Every structure is written in structure tokens, then in C-alpha cells.
Structure 1
Amino acid sequence: MPVSPATDLSDASTSHDEAAPQRRSRRKQARPGELLDAALTLFVEKGFAATRVEEVAALAGVSKGTLFLYFPSKEELFKAVVRETIAGRFTEWNEEFERFSGDSAELVRYCMHSWWERIGMTPASGITKLVMSEAGMFPEIATFYQQEVIEPGHDLIRRILQRGVDRGDFRPLPMEYAVYSLIAPMIFLLMWKHAMAPCCPTSAQIDPIGFIDAQVDLLLAGMQLPKPPRQNA
């Protein structure tokens, strides 16, 4: 039986009324992510001290009061940004380490390339420079970064290197310092990207992948055990 025009209008009105709360619910669920994206953009661009929560809220399209519903302070907002973009990824990185079946040289190369693709090429790459430059003024965020990023990062790299030693791929290494051999080139790239690269001419720019590959080759040359001479048949 045909539906009358009146019924059509009633159904459309009901459908619209039902859809509105759903849209509001989806919008509410999206707000924390939008606030974190806005905060990351401003923290990297302006630094922790210079970023105001009003600016973050405005960039995310909400009020300052709404921001404080999700994050009670600028410090808590910063911590959430770090957890979302870097610290929260250690679970996946550790799982990849456990599953990796290649040799130790391949693992080191994969580790450094993967880190650049997932952190170095993203806006989160600016967080390290922020922490290093503002640690003296805000020791609490430096302590948080130490606990949430540096310590688990050191632990993962130590396990990568120890795996190489245990498998006979690498010579015995002073682990407490050897971890920095992988970390230092990465920090250099981050500092270059966010400090010097914007000021340098094209001819002076560094190709990150080329730099990483050169560093890996140098590191492996220093870490790998020499292969025994081939016996003549």
C-alpha cells in the first residue's frame, strides 16, 4: 500500500531526531583526539611554555571548559600527547621484537628505519626537542618523558643488542653505553629537522634515510664479530 506524504514527513522527522544524538555522541567521542592533535601541533610549533590551553581549544574547535573536561591541566594534556604518539607504541614495538626472525643486523636496520617512519616523519618528532629545550623550566615533564619514553626505549634497544650478542652476531658490548650508539643518530636527526633544517638551503639538507643507512653501516662494522676465514676444501 502506498505511504501517504504525511507518513513520509513523520518518518523523516523521527529519523532526524534519532540521528542528532548519534552525531553529538560521535562528536563527543572524537573530541579527545581532536584536542590531542591540536595540542601536538601547538606544542611542537611554540613549545610547552608558550602554548596556552585557550589556543589548543580554539584550534580543536571547542571551548576551554570543554578541554578541561578531558584534560585537567596543560601538563596532563602534554602527557596524553606523549602517550598517544610515542609511549603508547612500545607495546607494538616489543611485540614486533619478539616476532622478528631475521638476523641481528637486519633487526638493527629495521629498528632505525621503523622508528623514523613512525616517529621521525610525524609531528611527534618535535617532542624530543621540546623536552630537551624546556627540561630546566619544567622538570616534571622531563621526569615524565624519562619514565614513559626514554627508559622503555633504552630497554628495547638493550634487548635488541643483547639478542645480537647472545646469537653470536655481535661482539660483547658495554650495554649501558652501547644503547646510545643507536639513540644518538636519531636524536641528531630530530634536532636537525626541528632546529637547523628550516634555516638551511636545499644544498645543505640531510636525507634522513641516507643518513640512517650510513649510521647503520658504521654501527654494524663496529659491533659485528669478524667472520671466520673460509676453509679451503
Structure 2
Amino acid sequence: MSQTVPKWRRRKDDRPAEIISAAIDIFAEKGFAAAKLDDVAKRAGIAKGTLYRYFETKDDMFRAVVQQAIAASLEETETGAAALQGSISDLVHMLLKRAANRMGDRRFPAIARMVIAESRTFPDLAVIWHDQLVSRMLGLVADLIAKAQARGEVKSGDPKLYAFSILGPMVSAVLFAEVLGGTSAELPDIDRLAAQHAETVLHGLLMSPAKRKRTP
């Protein structure tokens, strides 16, 4: 017979996730400098003293936001890439589609813009963003490219530069929409961009069938 977890215990276990969700909203709305722990506590529906039991500083909270709410999606991508036994073409389509889905959450580009705008004043923001998100994503794509080169699917070249070429237009489109969304009529459709860019970049990446290595 299963035991029912008391509501107070469920509430306590859920609090870190609730605080992080509230912190994402506050950071996206106000930026890092203007965000207050009081605002996060109020949005999460808890006392400020309760918040300090989980996060001592605003830096700690931002690190948790990146690790648990943003970079956590990378684990799904990494798992999907490892499980997909297909060509680099399949992988690129999958990666860009997942990126479009993630970037469709308007809080993600808002926080990216916040990091860019405030990283000079708060350099730790850039370090956290780089180590937990950017470096991991570039490393994942570069590793997939290197393996495809070893199989004879992809042309010679620096795998990390190829990774920048694949991911760059998606990041640019999201920041374009975030910065100019209220003034520009040229906002790209992220899903359509992902699909079209996948075809475009693969046209430049892939070796012609006649030049591909034959695998035993």
C-alpha cells in the first residue's frame, strides 16, 4: 500500500522549483540589477526568510536559474543526440528544432538579453551563462560534427566554427526579436527559420555522395 506524501512536504519539496520559476520571470522583466529578492519571494508566494534557506545571494539564484531551468534542457538534447542513430542531417534537424522550441519561451531570450546588457557590470553573469549553457552547447555540436567528419559525412574544417555557423543564426534571430520586436515588422518565425536553416547549413556541410568514405 503506497503512502500519501503530506501536502506540507510536497509544498516544501516544490519550493526550489517555484522560486526558480519566479526568479526567471523577475530577471526577464526587470534585469539582474533591478531584480530584488523581495520581488522573487513575493512572486513565489513565500516569505523572504524562506527564500534565503535555498539561495543566499542573487548570484546563487541566477546560477540555479541557468542550471535548472535553462541548461536542464541541454540534458534532453544531449540524450536525444546520443540516442539518435542517424546521419548528421538528422542530428542537425533535431538540434535546430529543439533550439527553436526552447527559444519559443519568451523568458529565454529576455534573460539572454539581460546577460548581454549587464555582463560588464556583473561579469559573473557571463561566466555562469558561458559555463552552464554556451560552452556545453557548442561542445555538443562540435563533437557531433567531428564524429560526422570521421565518418566521411562532413567536409573538413574546424568543428567548433561549424557549430557557431549552425547555432549562430538561431541566436541572432531570437535576440533580434527580443530587442526589436516592438518596432520591426521583419520578425522571423523561429520554427520556419530552424527548418530552412537546417537545409541551408547542411548544403554547405555535407560531402557529396561520391566523395564520402565507404564504411565497411
Amino acid at match of 2:134: I
Provide the C-alpha distance between the structure 2 equivalents of 1:110 and 1:192, rounded to a whole number of angstroms: 23
1:1-23 CA distances to partner (integer Å, 9 max, x unpaired)? xxxxxxxxxxxxxxxxxx9x922
Deviation at 1:163, TM superposition (A): 2.3
Provide the C-alpha distance between the structure 1 equivalents of 2:190 and 2:43, rounded to a whole number of angstroms: 30
Provide the C-alpha distance between the structure 2 equivalents of 1:103 and 1:55, rounded to a whole number of angstroms: 47
The one of 103, 115, 139 equivalent to 1:120 is 103
Amino acid at match of 1:170: V
Provide the C-alpha distance between the structure 1 equivalents of 2:183 and 2:46, rounded to a whole number of angstroms: 34
The one of 173, 179, 188 equivalent to 1:206 is 188
Deviation at 1:199, TM superposition (A): 2.9
Deviation at 1:228, TM superposition (A): 2.4
Paired position in structure 1 for 2:214: none
Amino acid at match of 1:92: E
Provide the C-alpha distance between the structure 1 equivalents of 2:88 and 2:78, rounded to a whole number of angstroms: 15
1:58-137 equivalences under 5 Å are: 58-117=42-101, 119-122=102-105, 123-137=107-121
Identity of aligned residues (%): 25
Provide the C-alpha distance between the structure 2 equivalents of 1:47 and 1:183, rounded to a whole number of angstroms: 25
Provide the C-alpha distance between the structure 1 equivalents of 2:160 and 2:16, rounded to a whole number of angstroms: 38
Q: Does the 8 A contact of 1:128 with 1:190 survive in 2? A: no
The one of 191, 198, 204 equivalent to 2:175 is 191
Provide the C-alpha distance between the structure 2 equivalents of 1:128 and 1:182, rounded to a whole number of angstroms: 18
Amino acid at match of 2:181: A
Provide the C-alpha distance between the structure 2 equivalents of 1:63 and 1:56, rounded to a whole number of angstroms: 10
Deviation at 1:57, TM superposition (A): 0.7
Deviation at 1:94, TM superposition (A): 2.1
Aligned length: 207
Q: Does the 8 A contact of 1:129 with 1:190 survive in 2? A: no
Q: Which runs of 4+ in 1 moved over 4 A?
A: none
Provide the C-alpha distance between the structure 2 equivalents of 1:218 and 1:103, rounded to a whole number of angstroms: 16
Provide the C-alpha distance between the structure 2 equivalents of 1:86 and 1:93, rounded to a whole number of angstroms: 12
The one of 129, 135, 149 equivalent to 1:165 is 149
1:14-53 equivalences under 5 Å are: 22-53=6-37
Q: Does the 8 A contact of 2:139 with 2:160 survive in 1? A: no
Provide the C-alpha distance between the structure 2 equivalents of 1:210 and 1:88, rounded to a whole number of angstroms: 24
Q: Which runs of 5+ in 2 are unaligned?
A: 212-216
Deviation at 1:111, TM superposition (A): 0.6
Deviation at 1:49, TM superposition (A): 0.9
* Root-mean-square deviation over aligned CA pairs: 1.9
Local SS of the residue matching 1:137 = coil
Provide the C-alpha distance between the structure 2 equivalents of 1:130 and 1:182, rounded to a whole number of angstroms: 23
Provide the C-alpha distance between the structure 2 equivalents of 1:54 and 1:227, rounded to a whole number of angstroms: 60
Amino acid at match of 2:193: F
Provide the C-alpha distance between the structure 1 equivalents of 2:152 and 2:141, rounded to a whole number of angstroms: 17
Deviation at 1:92, TM superposition (A): 3.0
1:145-156 equivalences under 5 Å are: 145-156=129-140
TM-score by length of 1: 0.82
Specify the structure having the higher radius of gyration (Cα): 1
TM-score by length of 2: 0.88
Local SS of the residue matching 1:49 = helix
